[in-house]
Structure 1
Amino acid sequence: MSAPQSTRIASPRYPAPELANLPDDIKAKVLEVQEKAGFVPNVFLALARRPAEWRAFFAYHDALMLREESGLTKGDREMIVTTTSAANNCLYCVVAHGAILRIYEKKPLVADQVAVNYRKADITPRQRAMLDFAMKVCLHSEQIEDADFAALHAHGFDDEDAWDIAAITAFFGLSNRMASFSNMQPNPEFYLMGRLPKPAKSA
Structure 2
Amino acid sequence: MSFLREVPLDEHEFPPFANARKAFGFVPNFYRAQTLRPDLIEAETRLVGSVLLQEGALSRAQKEYIFLVCSAANLSTYCVTAHCEIVRALGLSGPEPEKIAVDHVHADIPIADKALLNFVLKLNRQATRVGRDDIEGLRTYGFSDEQILEAVVLTGLARFANLVSAGLGAKPDFEPNPAALRQE
TM category, shorter: 0.7 to 0.9
Greater mean deviation of Cα atoms: 85-94 or 180-189: 180-189
Displacement of 1:146 = 1.9
* Match among 109, 117, 131 for residue 123 of structure 1: 109
Question: Deviation of residue 73 (structure 1)?
Answer: 0.3
SS at match of 1:184: coil
> Are 2:120 and 1:134 aligned?
yes
Q: TM-score, normalised by structure 1?
A: 0.77
On the 8 A contact 2:16/2:45 being kept in 1, the answer is no
Q: Secondary structure at the match of 2:87?
A: helix
The residue matched to 1:10 in structure 2 has which SS?
Answer: coil
The answer on 1:81 being equivalent to 2:67 is yes
Displacement after TM superposition at 1:35 (Å) = 5.2
Segments of 4+ moved more than 4 angstroms: 35-38
Overall identity of the aligned pairs, in %: 26
Aligned to 1:17: 7
Equivalent residue for 1:51, pick from 25, 38, 46 = 38
Larger radius of gyration between Structure 1 and Structure 2: 1
- Would the aligned equivalents of 1:79 and 1:98 in 2 still touch at CA under 8 Å? no
Consecutive unaligned residues in structure 1, runs of 5 or more:
1-8, 192-203
Q: Which amino acid aligns with 1:91?
A: T
Structure 2: gaps (5+ residues):
178-184
Aligned length: 176
The reply to whether residue 185 of structure 1 matches residue 171 of structure 2 is: yes
2:48 is matched with 61
- Cα offset, 1:49, TM superposition: 1.9
Any idea what the Cα deviations from partners look like across 1:152-183, whole Å, max 9, x if unmatched? 11221012211111110012211100101221
1:91 aligns with 2:77: yes
Equivalent residue for 2:181?
none
Using the TM superposition, name which of 36-45 and 135-144 deviates more: 36-45
Which residues of 2 match residues 150-161 of structure 1 at below 5 A?
Answer: 150-161=136-147
The whole-number CA distance in structure 1 between the counterparts of 2:75 and 2:91 is 23
1:131-155: per-residue Cα shift (whole Å, max 9, x none)?
0111111011111112211221122
* CA displacement at 1:46 relative to structure 2: 1.5
Give 1:106 shift.
2.5
- 1:113–1:122 contact (8 Å) kept in structure 2: no
What is the CA–CA distance in structure 1 between the aligned matches of 2:113 and 2:47, rounded to whole Å? 23
